[in-house]
Every structure is written in structure tokens, then in C-alpha cells.
Structure 1
Amino acid sequence: MKKAIILDLDNTIFSTPSIGDKLFADLYYLLEINLSEFEGDLENLKKDINRKPFSVVAKQYKMTQSLYKDALQLLSELTYNETIEPFPDYNEVTKIQCDKFLVTSGFPKLQNSKVKQLGIEKNFKGIYIVDTVMTNDTKKNVFKKILHYYNYDTSEVVVIGDDPESEIAAAEELGIDAILYDKLNLYANYFKNPKISDFNQLQNYL
């Protein structure tokens, strides 16, 4: 039995696209009036904003420095103040008797507001927000800190998230077991690590 679970937030505990249109309305407008300042399709860009860190998306779409700066200014002050519903199966995580940590990357004000509106603070021993824009911190560094501070062996921890290139890759680099949470079946051909689409399946890997 694992002693600790490290969970991602966006698209792991709740669906980011479910609040995306309201949350990113001002950002979407900024992009729409500056179509010449990035490459690629606007609708695809919007979808990626709901799935990946903004710095990664900006680089992917070759956003100009001017637009990137304006977008960062907007996003750094953004909060979400309406109720957010977690995925129905998230309740299964709360039933598991082990330490739980939330590690998410993004803008601190925004990520903190999501956690508050989800009402999930009580479920976690620790909550860590990695600001990848204003700091050089990474999820990998946070995972290492958790292992060291709580004296966990890598074999005693499992990381669960929706992004193979983010938290899953960081766990792999540290030798921590990782599980891809693929609620929307975006990674049909992914077989590198165990994959689940419902937290009811999680007990099989603990």
C-alpha cells in the first residue's frame, strides 16, 4: 500500500474546459484582437490553454513577446469565484487512507481560487502551487521536497495527473510510480505507465 498520493489539479480533479469560457473570456478576447501576433488556429490555441501551462502554449504558437506580456499581466491577476464541481469519481480519492498532496502549476491567485471554489483543501496534507512563470521551480523539485520532508521512499508514493509531459515525466525522472488520468481518452495510444479514466480504478495500483 502506498503511503502517499500526489495529485495534479486541472483536468485531474475537475474539468478545466468546464469553466474555461467564463474564466478565460478576457484572455480569449485579447487573442481575438491580436490574431497576427501568434501562429496557428485560435480555436486550437483556446483548447490548449485549458490543458497546458500558458508559457508552453505561448511558445507552441510562437506568440510575440508583446502579446505574451499582456496575457501574463491579465492571467496573473485572474481568479475564479464561482462554484467548481470536481469530477464525480474524485470522491473515491477521498476514501483512500493515505497522505495526499496537491501539486499544480500555474498562476498562484488563479490556482488558489480554484482550490477554494472546489472546497478540497481539507483533503490534502499539503498543497503546492508551482509558479513556472515568475520562478524557476518545477513539479519535479516539489516532488523531491515532499519525499525529503516527509521521509518517503520513492516506492511509497504515486503521482497521478493528466499530462504525460508534466507531472508524469517528473515522477518518472525521480523513480516514482506514475498513473496517467485520461478522463477524456486523449491518449488512446499511451502505454508507458498505467492509465485510468476513473478513480474507481485506482485501488488496483496502490
Structure 2
Amino acid sequence: MKRALILDLDNTIYPVKSIAADLFEQLFQLIDEEIGLSDKQKAAKAKSELTRRPYQHVADEYGFSKELKQKGLGLLKNFSYDKPMQPYPEYHALSALTIDKFLVTTGFTKLQNSKIEKLGIKAHFKKVYIVDPEVSKINKGDIFQQIMLENGYNARDLLVIGDDPQSEIKFARELGIDTYLFDPEQKFSDVDVTHRSASYTNVADIINQ
């Protein structure tokens, strides 16, 4: 039996693509101007990755110039999202579960807090952690260990739920924590995870095993 769930935010509780046009409009324009003029395919891939991975990781991987990287940081670091947001319909199956839940998300602190507020989900969690690469070098794995230490959990007590095999899923596996890959588009069929699904309907059964 599981004692707690640890959830990611972006593309786990809500789809980033639902707000991407508003959130990244100016940044996408900068990418098109610098990268898209010489390599439209690379620019398109970078923009797509920004809807599912932290800005700093994408900027490094796709070779953003120092100037572009700094402009992007300037746009996103102090940005708050102020338009209506809706979680995935599937999320209600998780929010209804009577079990301790923790939210662990990577991103810019002000922006992530604004999303949480607009989604109206803060009260669903025992504690919210924002891993901001501009503030600290800690990662989600460090936070998972902190949660275990502060609450008297061991790895077997937890289930980490997320969409990114290279982020929360990776760190959970390294710590021996069971993983649940939310993969509604079935992009990661070859990833080694404990559980995998396009919905959350079976989480209740998993935590009671």
C-alpha cells in the first residue's frame, strides 16, 4: 500500500499546449528570428520541446545563443500566467484520492505559482515544491529524498506520477520509487517504468495493493 503520491505539474495535471500560444508567443518569435531563418525544422523542434521540458535544458540542447538564452530568461523569469486554465479531465481521478499528495514541479517560481493558482489545485497537496534552476542547483531527486526524510516515508511508500522519462521518472527510479508514466499520446512505449497509462483510473487500485 502506498502512503503518498508525488505529482509533476506540466503535462501531468494540465496540458501545456493549452496555454503555449499565450505563454511562449514572444519567445517563439525570438526562436523563429534566430534559428528558424536558417533551420526551420530545428526551430520547430525547440518550440515543441519547450512545451514539455524546462527552458534551460532546451536552450542548452538546441544551442541557443547567449543573447537568445538571456532574452528568453528575461521573458519567462518574471512572467505570470493570468488567463483561465483547466486540468486534464483525468486529473479529477487523482484529486479525489484520500492520500497524502505532494506537487514537485520544475520551472520559474513566479510562473509555476501562477499556474497553480489558476488551476486552483494548491489545496490538493500537503506541500508544493518548485525546483527553479535560476535559484538553486537542487533537482527533483533531492526533493523526493527531502519528502521521505521529513515525513518518515521509505521508497516503497511512494508513487511518483509524471510525464517526463528524463525528469521525475528518472529520479524516482534512481531512488527505487515506483513510477507511473502518464502518456496520453503514447510517446514513450520503450521507457522502463513501473506503471504506464493514458489515464489515472487505475491509480486507486495501485495505491491499495
1:153-191 C-alpha deviation (Å, 9 max, x unpaired): 111111000001100111111111111111221113334
- Following TM superposition, by how much is the alpha carbon of 1:37 offset from its aligned partner in structure 2, in angstroms? 9.7
Which residue is 2:143 aligned to?
A: 142
Determine helix, strand or coil for the equivalent of 2:189.
Answer: coil
Aligned 8 A contact 1:90 1:199 in 2: yes
- Partners of 1:205 and 1:168 lie apart in 2 by 17
Aligned 8 A contact 1:38 1:63 in 2: no
Which residue is 2:62 aligned to?
A: 61
Establish whether residue 162 from structure 1 lines up as the match of residue 163 from structure 2.
yes
Which residue is 2:9 aligned to?
A: 9
Establish whether residue 203 from structure 1 lines up as the match of residue 196 from structure 2.
no
- Following TM superposition, by how much is the alpha carbon of 1:194 offset from its aligned partner in structure 2, in angstroms? 1.4
Deviates more, 1:33-42 or 1:141-150: 33-42
Aligned 8 A contact 2:36 2:43 in 1: no
Q: Which amino acid aligns with 1:118?
A: L
TM-score scaled by length of structure 2? 0.93
Identity of aligned residues (%): 36
Aligned 8 A contact 2:35 2:42 in 1: no
Equivalenced residue count is 206
- Partners of 1:13 and 1:191 lie apart in 2 by 22
Aligned 8 A contact 1:16 1:51 in 2: yes
- Following TM superposition, by how much is the alpha carbon of 1:67 offset from its aligned partner in structure 2, in angstroms? 1.2
Which residue is 1:78 aligned to?
A: 79
- Following TM superposition, by how much is the alpha carbon of 1:45 offset from its aligned partner in structure 2, in angstroms? 1.2
- Partners of 1:192 and 1:159 lie apart in 2 by 10
- Following TM superposition, by how much is the alpha carbon of 1:32 offset from its aligned partner in structure 2, in angstroms? 2.1
Find runs of 4+ consecutive structure 1 residues off by over 6 angstroms: 36-39
- Computed over aligned residues only, the root mean square deviation of the Cα atoms, in angstroms, reads 1.6
TM-score scaled by length of structure 1? 0.95
Determine helix, strand or coil for the equivalent of 2:103.
Answer: strand
Which residue is 2:120 aligned to?
A: 119
- Following TM superposition, by how much is the alpha carbon of 1:41 offset from its aligned partner in structure 2, in angstroms? 1.8
